[in-house]
Amino acid sequence: MARKLPATDVVIVGLGWTGSILAHELTEAGLNVVAIERGPWRDTSSDFPVTHAQDELRYHIRHDLFLRPAQETLTFRHNARQTALPMRTWGTFMPPNGVGGGGVHWNAETWRFLESDFVLRSHLTERYGEKFLPEDMTIQDWGITFADLEPHYDKFEYLCGTSGYAGNLGGQKRQGGNPYEGPRSREYPTPPQKQPFGPTLWAKAAVESGFQPFPQPSGNLSQAYTNPLGVTLGPCTYCGYCEWFGCGNYSKASPQVTILPVLLRKENFKAQTLCTVQRINTDSTGKRATGVTYIDSNGEEWEQPADLVLLCAFQLFNVHLLLLSGIGTPYDPNTGQGVIGRNFSYQVTSSVDGFFEDKNFNPFISSGAIGMCIDDFNGDNFDHGPHGFVGGGYIGAVQTNGRPILSTRGPAGTPSWGAEWKKAVAQHYLSTYTTVTHGSSYSYRDVFLDLDPTYTDIFGRKLLRMTFDFHENELKMSQYITDRLADITQKMGPKVMEKHPRKGPYDVNVYQTTHTCGGAVMGDDPKTSAVNRYLQSWDVPNLFVFGATAFPQNAGYNPTDTVGALAFWGADAIRNQYLKNPGPLVHA
């Protein structure tokens, strides 16, 4: 029996980027907010100080900052004919855990999606015709436009202090920025990061090839910056420990260094850590959420009643909680009906390795969002007509580190051990440079999330089950953009170059990205979306679902900027529309 706590105005599940933003915005509106976080409290000086933050084994290899699969995991299968098996350890992606969520250990690549990404199905259908899309591709429009989201992208970037150079300022194209980006209302908060040798050399090759390379937008800051909340971040030191690591320098944008120091001091906010939400409670009609039930680390069960429930957990676990709570109709791939678990998507990454003879890249001098890129092969920035696929990605020189356990290698044919291996890694470590693509992952009828029939978590709840594999369209896309990347990388002058386009089947052992998306997507139609354009549940209007969970499909960019922007967009809708008149903000 859960013991009932005093009611609060708002309960937030998960205190990462979206939970922190929502908590801040709604406490500003005068509401009492309680956030419930499954993992521990974390801060820079205690948890990842510069004295030991730079530990590849502990943080990267042994996953110290991440969710423990023993706490919660999911099962995986390539298709509905297979039996799903549990992810017993993490491989292909790394779900976050603890205060700050993925914001603690991301690379901080801070990209906006393209204008056409938000109206993807209409745009592609108009340009190429309905028949150009694979029959089982279930991409759709978001229900919002880039213009709707622009002020909120701006808010998130100014919260973070993002370093970059605008390529489109209010409709004016500017040399040195991304010519394909949607119009920005103002310049980036801070100038671009400095570039090490690799990106500089690649950018030169890109210019020679007729492209306009630009610096990748970075949440690792080029200089000290004080954000609108009065919180100050320090300059990045190019240490090469970003993704998988907490930043000891206060220079990577995270909830810890942008928003929590303000939020935690508010009297109308509190957080519970190491408490796992079991379910969202609803009243007898099933149309109203009454709060959440959670279990703390002593095993005691609590009910937190609230007028408003905000799901701000990691993408996968938002979907898990919706399914466990019986909110919304679960997706059925046989009929195509139902929305919870529908349109799961991922990211399609690839790389090109260049082994050089006369170059020293000092790969350890880097940041997680360093690099020079081009966007000519992203989204629908190029004519797909001749190619027979849709989608794309940014490509460029964004090697983020030189940490030796995972980055030492030799060209193909190098043995994996013995004297020859030793000689090869000693010879190639400083003189190898890897360029990358970051491709879109569109949604399909047979790719989805549901509950596993066999495996349970430590609370006895059914695990989430993922059914996913790459489709022909994505593999063709990856081949094409990897070839274009290689065209440019070749001009850097490697002695040996190796292309690694993404190949199927999906390999869960190999890290790709933690950009899992969808499963409770946003849209205009309750038949094909779980939440409306304001991230509000169609079924339970006092429940909102944030994060990449809402992406109808994933674009060829890292998702966090869009996740942050959607959090501000949803917060704005709650503050300025919902609170005045609690109820559905859109009538289907």
Partner 1 sequence: MGKRASTAATRRRTLLAGAAAAGFLGLFTRGNALELQGMPAWDPLSGPPPDIVKPGPWQFFTAEEAVAVEALVDRLIPPDPHWAGGKDAGCAVFIDRQLAGPYGRSEGLYMRPPFDDTATDRGPQSPFTPAQRYRRSLAGLDKHCEGAYAGKSFAQIPDAEKDKLIGALQSGAVALEDSSGRGFFELLLQNTKEGFFADPAYGGNRDMVGWRMIGFPGARYDYRDWIERHNETYPRPPVAISGAPQWTPRQG
Q: What is the closest distance, in whole angstroms, from the C-beta atom of residue 366 to partner 1 in the complex?
A: 8
- Residue ranges in 96-155 that form contacts with partner 1 under rule CB under 8 A: none
Nearer to partner 1, 458 or 588 (CB): 458
**Cα atoms found within 13 Å of the Cα of residue 507, Cβ hemisphere only:** 8
Under 8 Å CB-to-CB from 353, ≥6 apart: which residues?
411, 432, 433, 434, 497, 498, 500
Distance of alpha carbon 419 from alpha carbon 219, whole angstroms: 41
Residue 391 backbone class (left: φ over 0; alpha: ψ -120 to 50; beta: rest) = left
**Closest by CA position to 241, among listed 111, 434, 55:** 55
Binding to partner 1, residues 66-85 (CB under 8 A): 68-71, 73, 76-78, 82-85
Ranges within 339-368 binding partner 1 (CB under 8 A)? 359-362, 364-365
CA–CA dist 364, 348 (Å, integer): 25
105 is catalytic: no
State how far the Cα of 195 lies from the Cα of 220, in Å rounded to an integer. Answer: 12
33-51: b (≥16 Cβ within 10 Å) or e: bbbbbbbebbbbeebbeee
- What does the per-residue mask of binding to partner 1 show for 280-299, with x meaning CB under 8 A? ---------------xxxxx
Would you say 429 or 534 has its CB closer to partner 1? Answer: 429
Mode of pairing for the β-strands spanning 85-86 and 74-77: antiparallel
Residues in region 375-404 near partner 1 by CB under 8 A: 402, 404
CA distance linking residue 455 with residue 468, whole number of Å: 18
Number of residues near partner 1 (by CB under 8 A): 105
Q: Which of 135, 175, 383, 417 binds partner 1 (CB under 8 A)?
A: 417
Options 19-27, 87-95, 521-529, 541-549: segment touching partner 1 (CB under 8 A): 87-95
Task: Tell the smallest beta-carbon distance from residue 431 to partner 1 (Å).
Answer: 10
Supply the minimum distance, in Å, between the C-beta of residue 552 and partner 1.
27
From candidates 408, 414, 479, 490, binder to partner 1 by CB under 8 A: 408
What is the β-pairing status of strands 342-345 and 348-355?
unpaired
Q: Integer distance in angstroms from the first to the last C-alpha of the chain?
A: 38
12-71 residues near partner 1, rule: CB under 8 A: 39-43, 45-58, 61-63, 68-71
185 CB neighbour count, 10 Å cutoff: 11
Find the catalytic residue in 63, 500, 515, 587.
515
Q: Which stretch binds partner 1 (CB under 8 A): 262-270, 315-323, 390-398, 434-442?
A: 262-270
Q: Decide if residue 414 touches partner 1 (CB under 8 A).
A: no
As measured in angstroms, the least distance from the Cβ of 54 to partner 1 is 4
Which of 269, 331, 344, 355: binder of partner 1 (CB under 8 A)? Answer: 269
Residues 445-504 that bind partner 1 (CB under 8 A): 454-456, 458-460
Smallest gap from Cβ 559 to partner 1, in A, equals 23
Q: Which of 130, 300, 357, 525 binds partner 1 (CB under 8 A)?
A: 300
Any residues with CB less than 8 A from the CB of 23 and at least 6 apart, and which? 10, 12, 15, 33, 35, 263, 269
Q: How far is the CB of 128 from partner 1 (least distance, A)?
A: 34
Calpha distance 10→23 (Å, rounded): 8
- Given candidates 237, 414, 479, 490, which one binds partner 1 under the rule CB under 8 A? 237
Catalytic positions: 515
